[in-house]
């Protein structure tokens, strides 16, 4: 059976709530990046989540130690998916930009990125989280589109399960 691990950074609780929803759908544990260890990165599918702050920066716990944890990891042969929260109205140009940072780190460390999402239905698509017309992972906006979050999480989880 494939192992799935969900590691997230959350300041206001929105990304944590998304991580918990994903954990329930996968029968996995959601682990805060602040307490993650190198062993927590050992999974067939590693799902990484972060909110986006400031001018496109990842959540504080990712910035403080999480990115360094990824930098030290060998993710060769692993599938990695990324998700995160942001504000597509107030910060359209940096909406969910932390996704791009996490995706780039994972690929640098040898991972295969899975779970890209079409930009259809999103207002903010001029962000570094979009590559080749798709978000690099699941972008969520609980500030302006909270009603879409459960459906987006469920659909994304199904697509990820198909990669296992």
* 59-84: burial string, b at 16+ Cβ within 10 Å, e else: bbbbbeebbebbeebebeebbbbbbb
Domain of 73, CATH number, reads 3.40.50.360
Q: Can you give the pLDDT at residue 68?
A: 95
Host domain of residue 78: 4-161
Q: Is 78 helix (H, G, I), strand (E, B) or coil?
A: coil
Residue 59 has pLDDT above 90, yes or no: yes
- Predicted confidence band at 157 (pLDDT cuts at 50, 70, 90)? very high
Residue 1 has pLDDT above 80, yes or no: no
For 124-144, what is the mean pLDDT? 92
Q: Which residues are CB-contacts of 77 (< 8 A; sequence separation ≥ 6)?
A: 110, 112
Q: Which two tokens stand for residue 43?
A: 């999974």
- Predicted confidence band at 65 (pLDDT cuts at 50, 70, 90)? very high
Domain tally, the chain:
1
């Amino acid at each position: 059976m494939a192992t799935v691990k969900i590691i997230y950074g959350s300041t206001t609780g929105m990304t944590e709530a998304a991580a918990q929803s994903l954990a329930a759908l996968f029968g996995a544990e959601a682990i805060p990046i602040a307490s993650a260890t190198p062993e927590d990165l050992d999974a067939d599918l590693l799902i990484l989540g972060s909110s986006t702050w400031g001018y496109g920066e990842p959540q504080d716990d990712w910035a403080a130690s999480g990115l360094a944890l990824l930098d030290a990891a060998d993710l060769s042969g692993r599938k990695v998916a990324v998700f995160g929260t942001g504000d597509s109205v107030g910060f359209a140009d940096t909406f969910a930009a932390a996704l791009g940072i996490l995706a780039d780190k994972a690929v640098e460390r040898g991972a295969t990125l899975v779970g890209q999402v079409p930009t259809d239905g999103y207002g903010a698509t001029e962000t570094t989280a979009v590559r080749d017309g798709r978000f690099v992972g699941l972008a969520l906006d609980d500030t302006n589109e909270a009603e879409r979050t459960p459906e987006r999480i469920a659909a994304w989880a199904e697509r990820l399960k198909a990669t296992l």
